[in-house]
Each structure stands twice: as structure tokens, then as C-alpha cells.
Structure 1
Amino acid sequence: MYLIVGLGNPGAQYARNRHNIGFMVTDELIRAPGFGPEKKQFDGFAAEGKIETLKGPDKVLVLKPQTFMNLSGNSVSKAMQFYKIKPEHVIVFHDELDLAPGRLRMKLGGGHAGHNGLRSIMGHIGPNFMRGRLGIGHPGVREMVHDWVLGDFGKADQIWVNTLTDACARALPLLFTGLPDAAERYTTEVMRLAPAPKLDTRQLNTQAKQDGAN
């Protein structure tokens, strides 16, 4: 079994935050045929299902921790222990400041780069899990980062956000091929289905100032 985790904060007030784009991906995944209803489990909401691959169906558990971001590892480790899932069979989708809005990069292992959700997960299971890094852009200055990640996506962003999260769900079987370049193939297909928007630094800075003023 594989564990697919979306990171975010629980509650309606955070639902459209940039920090919650991981939740948005998992919401798309569980809408697909073959997934059961969400259940409250493992300090989160979980849904079991199957991903059809060239090798046949693979069982997956989709998990949205409800512990708030900085305690995400509690939820992830409980699910892993229950199903005896190995770290290399864990895929975590999360927001990434160091990627332009709409970009996706898959990465195995590495540091947490200050991301509290990753920091928490690494504290429980180590670094050797797959990360789906979803670009939200950087506001330009460190002092604006907090308001930026906890700010809502703008109306203009919703087009690329919806397209990207849908593409992440549709292309998922490519991650389960067992091929050495599966992550690269997956990234390429997602970017084909959902090309990143062309945004310049001035647009990001303007949005960041608006978030800070709210």
C-alpha cells in the first residue's frame, strides 16, 4: 500500500490558503472512481482506494492530517504504523515557496527548507519519502512569507490552481510504474496537462502587499 498525504491546516478559514494546496490535490484524488468515502482516522481524514497502473491496481490511502501543519507527522506516522507502510511508499504534496506559481517538482528525500509540515513528518519517519512540491511563488522578502502562505489564492490564481490539482490527480498512475524515471515522467505529464502561468515578479509583489494589508 502507498500513502498519499496532502498538507494543510484544518478549518474553513484556511481552506483557500496557499499553504493548503496539498489538501486541494488530495481532494481531487478522492473524487476519482475507486475511492471510498473519507473517514476520520489517524488524526485526520482518510480515504482508501486504488490507482490503476500498467501493472494493475495499486492500493493507496489518501490522508489529510487535521492536526495543523506543524504536527502533521503525528497523523502520518499513525497511518503508516497501522498499515505497515514504508517511508519510500509515502508521497507528500505540499506548497513550495521556492518554485514559481503553478510549477511542480517531485523530489525524493532532502531537507525541509523551513516547511513545518515537512519538518514534523521528518521528525517521525525520516527524510526518505517522496515530495510533490507545488509552487506558490515567493513574496520577495522574508518578512512577508507568513502572510503570503496563509493568504488566500487570488481570483486570477484559481484557474491555474484548479488545473494543476486536477492534473496531479489525473497523472498519478505514472508514479506507480516502478520505472526509475517515474517521478520525472509524472512531473512532465502534469506540466503538459497544466502549464504554469506566466507571472512576473511585479504581480507577485503586488499580491504580497495586498495580503499583508488584509
Structure 2
Amino acid sequence: MKLIVGLGNPGREYAGTRHNAGFEWVDRLSQMLHAPLKPEARFHGLCTQIHQEDIDLWLLEPQTYMNRSGQSVAALCQFYKIQTDEMIVIHDELDLSPGIAKLKKGGGMGGHNGLKDIAVKLGTQDFWRLRIGIGHPGDRDAVVSYVLSQPRKEEAPLINEAIARSLEVWPLIAQGDCEAAMMKLHTKV
């Protein structure tokens, strides 16, 4: 892997919302690796480059708002010639219950506007995604307010557990062994 992208919306009003699960994941990883994220105007985001032992990659949190995430991702990918199979996008997932994290490559966008914009800007949907379950409100018309709000008291610990459990497979992801990471993450204990 050469690029880890966490999706979310910038600004205090969105901090801790369901839609910012990707930001939370990347924030925790940057703390684990002692690699603070910094604003980078040319990539329209917060990012850091990591050179540690066998790791040489970028962490990125687009600051373009969710619906324009592709602008940030495409800018970094084009500048550093990163291919789509060398990146993973971490995002919230309505179709998974809180507490569930799943890894997959390619597939549909599930109505996720951040993923849609990335796919349009990169010209492909064929990239790895780490999906952090946030659950569904049950009504399509309630989705926007749901993803932009804080998780309920009983959901927050489950989402945090899913993030923590998926970070456990980070070493496999860093090595580019996403298949092994997927097997480990998806295996019930």
C-alpha cells in the first residue's frame, strides 16, 4: 500500500459524526505511527508521509467535504503516481451494523458520495475499501441527517470497537496483503 485515505467532513461541527469514521481510523493510525497529519494545499487535505522500516506510504484526510473527496485523492495519486490497487479508502458504511468492519476490493458505491467522487476522479471503482459499519436509519429520507449526526450511546462503543479491531490488521494492510487482512478481519472470534 502506498496511500491510506480516511473519508469524512472537515470542521468541528462534523467531528465525531458517523460520516467521519474514516477520519477517526486514520487519526488513530497516525497516532500509532507517531506521524501527525498536516495541511497540504496541493492535495486539498491533511496528510503525512511515513517512512518506517518496511512502511513507505501516505495517510490522507481530504478536506474538500465528502462529496468532493476525489479531488484530494486524485491530486495525491497523480503527483506520486499511485495506482488504485496501491490505495485503500476507509469509510462509514450504512449497510453494516455498528461493530462490523469489512474489507473489500471494488464493487458498488452503496450510495456513498465520497466513494462515488473518488471513482469518478480516478476513472475506476477497483480500489480497496475498509468499511466501518454505522447502521442504517431505516428510512432513505433520513440518511443525510443520520450520517451527519453523532452515534447513539449504544452505537458509539460498537463503532469504536470496529475501528480498533480493523486497526489490528493494519500490519497486513501495510504489507499489501489485503487478502490476509480480510480473512483475519472477517473471521469471527
Aligned equivalent of 2:127: 129
Structure 2: gaps of 5 or more residues? none
Partner of 1:7: 7
Matches of residues 64-75 of structure 1 in structure 2 within 5 Å? Answer: 64-75=61-72
Based on CA coordinates, which of the two structures has the bigger radius of gyration?
1
Residue 114 (structure 2) pairs with residue 113 (structure 1): no
Letter in 2 for 1:88: D
2: CA distance, partners of 1:179 / 1:29: 17
CA offsets, 1:6-57, max 9 Å, x none?
0000000001111111110000010013x43322121000012257xxxx61
Report deviation, 1:155: 2.9
Alignment length, in residue pairs?
Answer: 186
Q: Give the partner amino acid of 1:170.
A: E
TM-score by length of 1: 0.80
Counterpart residue number, 1:91: 88
TM-score between the two structures when normalised by the length of structure 2: 0.89
User: Aligned residue for 2:37?
Assistant: 38
1: CA distance, partners of 2:180 / 2:113: 27
Partner of 1:24: 24
For the 8 Å contact 1:172–1:186, the answer to whether it is kept is: no
Amino acid at match of 1:45: L
> Structure 1 residue aligned with 2:159, among 158, 161, 167?
161
**CA–CA separation in structure 1 for the residues paired with 2:181 and 2:3:** 16
| Cα distance in 2 for residues equivalent to 1:180 and 1:38 | 24
- Structure 1 runs (4+) deviating above 6 angstroms are none
RMSD: 2.0
Equivalent position amino acid for 1:123 in 2: V
Matched residue SS, 1:9: coil
How far apart in 2 are the matches of 1:17 and 1:86? 30
Looking at structure 2, the residues matched to 160 and 171 of structure 1 have their Cα atoms a distance apart, in angstroms, of 17
Identity across matched positions, percent: 42
